[in-house]
A and B are shown apart, each in its own frame.
Chain A
Amino acid sequence: MSRLIIETPNRAQMVVEGLYRDLERRIIASPPGLCPVDMAASFLKLCHAQTCGKCVPCRIGLGQLAHMLEEVLDGNATMETIQRIEQTAQVIADSADCAIGFEAANMVLRGVRGFRDDYIEHVTNNRCNSGLTQPVPCVSMCPANVDIPGYIALIHEKRYADAVRLIRKDNPFPTACALVCEHPCEARCRRNMVDDAINICGLKRYAVEQAGEVPVPACAKPTGKRVAVIGGGPGGLTAAYFLSLMGHHVEVFEQRAQLGGMLRYGIPSYRLPREMLDRDIRAILSTGVTVHTNISIGRDRSFSEIEGAFDAVFICIGAHIDKKIGIEGEEGEGVLSAMEMLRENGDGQTRDLSGKRVCVIGGGNVSMDAARSAIRMGADSVSCVYRRRVEDMTALNEEIEEAAAEGCNIIPLQAPVRIELDGSGKVCALWTRPQMIGPVGADGRPRPVNAGEEDRRIPCDLVIVAIGQGIDSSAFAEAGVPTVRGAISALPDSLVKGHPHVFAGGDAVTGPSTVIRAIAAGKVAAANIDSYLGFRHVIDTGVSIPPARLTSVPACGRVNLGSRDFNESRQDFEQVAICMTHEEAMQESSRCLRCDHYGYGIFKGGRQAQW
């Protein structure tokens, strides 16, 4: 017999490996609204199957925990059962020999403490607090609840203009969202259970490019009511669009020279070409919205004046001021905020950075936008300095990868400590302190700690700070609008307490967030302003949705969007991402499982045809 052999997995092991991957994808596609106790019991069963059987707490304890959880779910447990679950899990967590046992018990503990109300509801009433409300995963994950299966089916039928009309029922920025939406809709796509999420955002881009300009529906008859919208960004313009369709007279007050908010003054044109943004804005304005640009509330007009002159007011001013980093040398010449630079670019006043060495501080999407813009503005070199690891950056992965591909030097685990200025007060270097990644904090993210190495000097001519934005709500706070640390306080229905006809939403309420969240806020405000004004206008579309195919297409890869050659794209502000081909769009749209028709969708909530 040989002394050693090369181990090769047997067939059963290989199949199980495949099943693990299926399970991972399945967990990704887990629909919202499941019973958390049932899920905890299911996880526990998996954990128990992983035990080697050597130690008592894990071999026996996990089984007994599973048994007690089943009792809870069957309605046969008492409050003592919950206590015994907690005590048993604590002992397993304390005394299991390896992570298979103690981490399994920790999961149970997190649950019995984190959703104890659900345990109690099962024990006392034999019922579950959870329940599905919107069973279509993509629609429920989209803050604006856009009818995604509907427009994907329309794309597959080559009815692109109808797809745009259907999107506009909930979101008047189909074009901008097709290019820059963070697509939360894809996160729990049920197609993950088969192969991979549908490229929803990519399909939307195909639809808007094919459709071209699509006229908006007719407005309802004039109501005689006047609504002021403060802030011409995605949230404000969404509210303006729907309110205008409802027959109200809408006036938008925008402090800058042009409309679009962060879409124009935050997002660079290589991601969102201005002619594409203008297409959405033209459509919105074609409903008859009146626009006042270069009007800043507090400076040019007082809030009280606006409040008095309109039947309702929607405040949607966004989060446009920069957070200071608070290190030595920040006041020097050559320290710039990312928002300031992107704003200048938005109005076409692009600086020339030829010959400059640029350091961008921060790891979010705005840092990537600043870094990639700086490259295009001719910078000699661009570095992105971040105090955690690359995988901890909050920027989208594809943004980081593309920035790197375009030549941005990403320097992780360096905490900026001071900016070195030369004799004339100009930036000459950024000093950073090396970090190592450390324990996981309360937010679940690993924290950086000092590595104990010597500070590092990064020579540069320009420091761009991109560590977050704040809200300038002072003009509103002075007029009595309630605020908390700068954020305007509004209820989930966008009402502002104490001001019956004032509504607020978007980044100014939530802090910096995504475009689609601002759009959703505008939609919610429009509905509630309409109700407040005493109306019940209905927003719908006459678009008929194609029937679902009888069976789904077999497992098939997901079509991702390609990019221009980065050596070429880094030299201009033209769009980087390349649209799908017709064949790609047809294949990708055929993969949709039509959760609006299959499963729970056909029973409840498959489609909200109007709101």
Chain B
Amino acid sequence: MVNLTINGKNVRVPEGTTIMDAAASVGISIPSLCYLKGINEIGACRVCCVEVKGEAHMVPSCNNPVKEGMEVLTNSPRARATRRVNVGLILSQHDCRCATCVRSGTCKLQRLANDLGILDTPYAPDLPRTDRHPWPAMFPLQRDPRKCIKCVRCVQVCDKIQSLNIWELTGSGGRTTVDVSLNRRITDADCSLCGQCITHCPTGALRERDDTQHAFDALANPHVTTVVQIAPAVRTAWGEPFGLPPEQADVGRLVTALRQVGFDYIFDTVFSADLTIMEEGSEFLRHFREGKTRIMPLFTSCCPGWVRFLKSQFPEYTPCLSTAKSPQQMFGAVSKSYFAQKAGVDPRSVYSISIMPCLAKKAECSLPTMHDPAYGADVDLVLTTRELDRLLRAEHLPIDRMPPTPPDSPLGTGTGAGAIFGATGGVMEAALRSAYFLATGKNPAPDAFQNVRGMDGWREAEFDLAGDTVRCAVAHGLGNARRLLEALRTGDVHYDFVEVMACPGGCVGGGGQPILGDDQERAADRAAVLYGIDRRAPLRFSHENPEVLTLYRDYLNAPLSEMAEHFLHTDHEGWEMPAAPIRPDLD
């Protein structure tokens, strides 16, 4: 233990504690900006600097451990001046037009400047001086260099968590900024579109492409039937910006709100998650029985960020991806075929909107392989959870007073197995529940495969499936996925079935989820919401979803049938992904 004083208070903390954490332990909060625990501890913004008696320089409290006998002052005149001047300097390189910023209210810089009572920007603006090289407006990930404060959190998250190194600090001198690494354009980069850089950006420099206006345009068109699907993970988080806990901001209340906005049909992606299990589970069982998985595993394909990652980083493994489309795309295909027929509308007039916790879904829906000549795109528009929240805020709805209503039928029923798709390990668990049934004709205990749950980055489990052992692995976060793939490549490990989700924690931690600006990681709490839904669900097996069974009976015939292959499967080789650059320095 180390003894020190902070602002005259005696503090006793374990060795290695940072000054910032030691101060927090006695209720002294030191403001910070660039600091992100475990990820970005580089003392770049100099906002958290404190005065340490006997030291000539001010000391960043985020990355310096306490020492015995230290006397720390966090609110001395020098500390106050340091904080205020440095925030003022940062503001001079920031576009301060907060009224039109997507992060107004959740921006760390705005909050800090407000807290410090900086009512006037003291320094002359020093913003990028050209508009001649604009960011591609259609790319799902948007970057505004005029809002970037060069904290490099995006660089660190992409390097350390996702191992893709898309961002880097470029140039030198006063014009140093963050840009796509190796002087590439973002459209030529191997970005997975996980969106983790966005959710960890302290300001509005990084955001999703805003597509809410397209939704309003569709609502305004009398010739269009709007069909909305809501992804499992959205129900764990959409209420956060409204201050509603998940038990209140459930899917029922969201359905009511979306009806109020005026959408024609509100369905649930949990339905098509169950459908995915029928297809992917059957596909796995076939590969497993044919002995194919003894040579190469089957990879889940629900996560488009993971698919982009695999195609760019380990293209030789692309054939291992399940050919099953993701639940979003399956839903879109079914909404424009089976549903349009059932509802008696022209498939071409159906406008399919999905609400997703994800940026990569925006790219997935516009892939050339996700179109059908009969009806066009499976999914026309993807809104992230954040865009959903903006759309609801634009309507000024009394969210907290709205009664829940169930989704529409016939694509609105989902099981607990489909709900857990939004959490790491959930696809694997749901697939194993149904694979067990398909292999043995009997249901396992619903929680028989809960060993695949958890937040470890790379988990393994073995299960008995009708006398054979299934070796499974689950990874989340692309850095973990890379380690797993490298181990597969060297032959150090072997699995039959592998689930990967690009975002830490799975979709619940997705790059399209709400940002509250408090640097808290919420994936584990949100995942718990999904497992609660599963636990309480009357149906916990995808193969028992009555609407899915009706769909097969009335339209698709059976899993992996010709019709199912046509609508529900895809060719992952049917589109190009920019290859990973050769970077010997990172090997």
Contact = CB atoms under 8 A, between A and B. Distances in A.
A602 B43 contact: yes
A125 interface: yes
B130 A74 contact: yes
Contacts of A602: 41-43, 63
Contacts of A547: 65
A567 interface: no
A133 B169 CA distance: 11
B173 A34 contact: yes
A93 to B, nearest CB: 26
Interface string A547-582: 100111010000000000000000000000000000
A127 B169 CA distance: 11
Interface stretch (B51-59, B385-393, B429-437, B548-556): B51-59
A131 B172 contact: yes
Contacts of A604: 169
Contacts of B574: none
A127 B56 contact: no
B170 interface: yes
A551 B175 contact: no
B536 interface: no
Given A73-B175, A550-B55, A551-B59, A128 B130 contact: no
B56 A33 contact: no
Contacts of B152: 603
A550 B171 contact: no
Counting chain A CB atoms within 10 Å of each CB, the highest count among B44, B57, B172, B174 belongs to B172
Interface in A24-51: 33-35, 38, 42
B37 interface: no
B274 interface: no
A131 B59 contact: no
Interface string A90-106: 00000000000000000
Given A550-B57, A550-B64, A603-B152, A130 B129 contact: no
Contacts of B56: 551-552, 554
Main secondary structure of the interface of B (DSSP, over half): loop
Contacts of A87: none
B585 interface: yes
B114 interface: no
A75 B173 contact: no
B183 interface: yes
Nearest to B43: A602
B172 A551 contact: no
A73 B172 CA distance: 11
A365 to B, nearest CB: 33
B510 to A, nearest CB: 27
B129 A125 contact: no
B52 A550 contact: yes
A129 B183 contact: yes
B532 interface: no
Contacts of B57: 550-552
A321 interface: no
Contacts of A121: 183
Interface string B555-587: 000000000000000000000000000000100
A554 B44 CA distance: 23
A126 B172 contact: no
Interface in B121-137: 128-130, 132-133
Interface in B165-209: 168-175, 179, 183
Given A74-B129, A75-B129, A127 B170 contact: yes
B148 to A, nearest CB: 14
A321 B175 CA distance: 51
Counting chain B CB atoms within 10 Å of each CB, the highest count among A33, A34, A127 belongs to A127
Nearest to A70: B129
Given A34-B173, A131-B168, A550-B55, A126 B130 contact: yes
A451 interface: no
A83 interface: no
A140 to B, nearest CB: 12
Given A75-B133, A129-B183, A35 B171 contact: yes
Counting chain A CB atoms within 10 Å of each CB, the highest count among B171, B174, B183 belongs to B171
A34 B132 contact: no
A307 B65 CA distance: 55
Interface in B27-52: 41-44, 52
A128 B64 contact: no
B173 A35 contact: yes
B92 to A, nearest CB: 16
A603 B40 CA distance: 8
Nearest to A603: B42
A23 interface: no
Contacts of B65: 547
Nearest to A41: B173
A75 B130 contact: yes
Nearest to B180: A127
Given A602-B43, A603-B42, A35 B172 contact: yes
Contact of B585 (A35, A130, A133, A552): A133
B183 A127 contact: yes
Nearest to B175: A73
A554 B41 CA distance: 26
Given A35-B173, A130-B171, A550 B44 contact: no
Contacts of B170: 127-128, 131
Counting chain B CB atoms within 10 Å of each CB, the highest count among A34, A35, A121, A554 belongs to A35
27 contacts: A34-B172, A34-B173, A35-B175, A38-B174, A38-B175, A73-B175, A74-B129, A75-B133, A76-B130, A121-B183, A125-B133, A126-B132, A127-B170, A127-B171, A128-B171, A131-B171, A132-B169, A133-B585, A550-B52, A550-B64, A551-B57, A551-B59, A552-B56, A554-B56, A602-B42, A602-B43, A603-B169
